[in-house]
Amino acid sequence: MSLPIVKISNLDKYFGRLHVLKNISLEVPERQVVCLIGRSGSGKSTLLRCVNFLEDPSHGSIEVDGVHVEAEAKGKERRQLIHDVRLKTGMVFQEFNLFPHMSVLENVIEGPVTVKGMDRNHAIELAEQSLDSVGMLWKKDEYPLRLSGGQKQRIAIARALTMEPRVMLFDEPTSALDPELIGEVLNVMKKVAYEGMTMIVVTHEMGFAREVADRVIVMSEGELIEDATPDELFAQPKDQRTKALIDRYRTGER
Amino acid sequence: MASTTQQGKAPPSQAELLYQAQLRKERLFRTHVGVSWGVLFLILIFLFSGQEIRLGSFQYQTIQLDSEFILKNLSFIAQGLGQTLLISVLSILVAMTLALLAALGRLSTFPPIYAISTFYVSLIRGTPLYLQIFFFFLALPQLGINLSGVVAGVTALGLNYGAYMSETFRAGLSSVGKGQREAAMALGMTPGQTMKRIVLPQALRFAIPPMGNDFISMTKDSALVSATGFVHELMWRAVKVGRAQFNNLEALIMAAMFYWVLTLILTYFQGKLEARLARGDR
């Protein structure tokens, strides 16, 4: 097993007086695909968002590809470390969050050009490759408003990939999609996984977890309650709450 | 319609017929409104035509305007249009700059910046525009600061509208969803880059239609600058010739017509702009 590329240590997160993440430690080795599952409010999205500091952890530390950030870090140093972490992570959101005032291509080159200072033509080359790999190159001059949810999400994935991150974070990437559009996004995610990307995926898609994940982690009330391969987890859940969760998915509830 | 022309064509569907009926209804409404406007305008002209109405024992003399005075002074008053527009354009530029700064200041987590922004908006909105114009023109010289009428007027109008328009910008900034900022930050953008590249372009687009309305209001509030007596815009000219020859009625009506036509023209362009922005692809 290779070295951990993401290392979360003793992480706590409070929202006001609410304790949403309770002393969480987790290591993800390179090239692993981890699915985080759990009922809404279990803290799985918050945990994911702590990895690239969209949420500030209250205590503990995050390490991504050798960049170590303590929750208590302050000032300029903290900003620099968080910036470094964000350069190593790509994120895909439930609501896509494409920039509506930019064309598809402009959306995808925005990061490389503005953040990395890349030459525009070079960025376009990379962007076109990414768009092609998610099957969206033909829409490069379109504006997001005119695209379906599935198309938007595939472009959002291309946008994140064009930054050449070491880790991809997916925050319920198919939860805002009409059922018939979920498949195209999952297929793109599968492709990214098979190309060897390290991925942490918060999802309700049990089929995807079963088929693509190397590891499934179950969260409940701010704690990791089970951590196993999909085969083990779905066949023989150890924790009663995991069992209840899997049953809920089987009957189509969330 | 002759039935022969319909032969060989499918009869229009129910939906098509309903849609056509709805379009006719909308067209008819617009036509009626247009005709009514025309009638109201004719009545207005008639009221100032100097005609005498006699209905049996009822007798009414409409208002007689001095047409000789009007013709003689038309070009003198019209020459104020340039100044009116100049003051409005300069003031709106000052106002937009201040409004943007004030709105951004409102987002600051640095207490002094937040305080300056809210203090400015509160002070300006808490005092009359008329007073502010006089303040810059009449009160500042006491402190040894002499501003020309135009500069005092533009400063006052700009400061005043900037305070009000900062709310427009603020609404624009808060119209940009949290997800947009998060997506930018996740890409590694700094707060400055996020503001400049992602938030502001969307916020400004949101704020353009209300800013057009503010500009139209400003062309009319620029009349207040005439109070300084040193800015020869529409209002000042109307008052000057009206008082001199005791033809205030004619002079003010003329100025009113200039303002009205100017507003109609600007409103037309404002509507075009709004329709263009509403298309949504850019």
Chain A contact set for B202 (CB, 8 A) = 100-101
Nearest 5°: the CA angle A163, A169, A172 is: 130
At A253 the pLDDT is 55
Residue-wise pLDDT tens digits, B104-127: 999 888 999 999 999 999 999 999
pLDDT band at B282 (very low <50, low <70, confident <90, very high): very low
- The shortest CB-CB distance from A97 to any of B182, B190, B205 is to B182
Is the pLDDT at A252 greater than 80? The verdict is no
Across the interface, whether the CB atoms of B179 and A93 are under 8 A apart is answered yes
Total-model pTM: 0.81
Which span out of B2-6, B103-107, B122-126, B140-144 was modeled with the highest average pLDDT?
B122-126
| Distance separating alpha carbons of residues A146 and A177, to the nearest angstrom | 15
At A248 the pLDDT is 86
Residue-wise pLDDT tens digits, A34-66: 999 999 889 999 999 999 999 999 999 999 999
Chain B interface includes A110 (CB < 8 A): yes
Across the interface, whether the CB atoms of B281 and A111 are under 8 A apart is answered no
Lowest mean pLDDT among A186-190, B157-161, B211-215: B211-215
Chain B interface includes A179 (CB < 8 A): no
Structure tokens at B22: 């709805």
Across the interface, whether the CB atoms of B201 and A159 are under 8 A apart is answered no
| Distance separating alpha carbons of residues A51 and A40, to the nearest angstrom | 19
| Tokens 């979360």 found at | A8
Lowest mean pLDDT among A152-156, B130-134, B226-230: B226-230
Overall average pLDDT of the A241-254 stretch: 80
Chain B interface includes A90 (CB < 8 A): yes
Find residue A217's DSSP bridge partners: A36, A227
At A28 the pLDDT is 96
| Tokens 């002759």 found at | B2
Find the Cα–Cα–Cα–Cα dihedral A230, A231, A236, A238, rounded to 10°.
-30
| Distance separating alpha carbons of residues B36 and B40, to the nearest angstrom | 6
Residue-wise pLDDT tens digits, B50-99: 888 888 888 888 888 888 888 998 899 999 999 999 999 999 999 999 99
Residue-wise pLDDT tens digits, B153-174: 999 999 999 999 999 999 999 9
pLDDT band at A120 (very low <50, low <70, confident <90, very high): very high
Interface of B with A in 5-34 (CB under 8 A): none
A70: helix, strand or coil:
strand
Chain B contact set for A107 (CB, 8 A) = none
pLDDT band at B1 (very low <50, low <70, confident <90, very high): very low
Q: Residue A207's closest CA among A168, A246, A170?
A: A246
Across the interface, whether the CB atoms of B185 and A54 are under 8 A apart is answered yes
At A230 the pLDDT is 93
Of chain A, the end-to-end C-alpha distance in Å amounts to 34
At B107 the pLDDT is 87
Report the relative pairing of strands A67-70 and A59-64 from DSSP bridges: antiparallel
Percent of chain B with pLDDT over 90: 61
| Distance separating alpha carbons of residues A220 and A242, to the nearest angstrom | 9
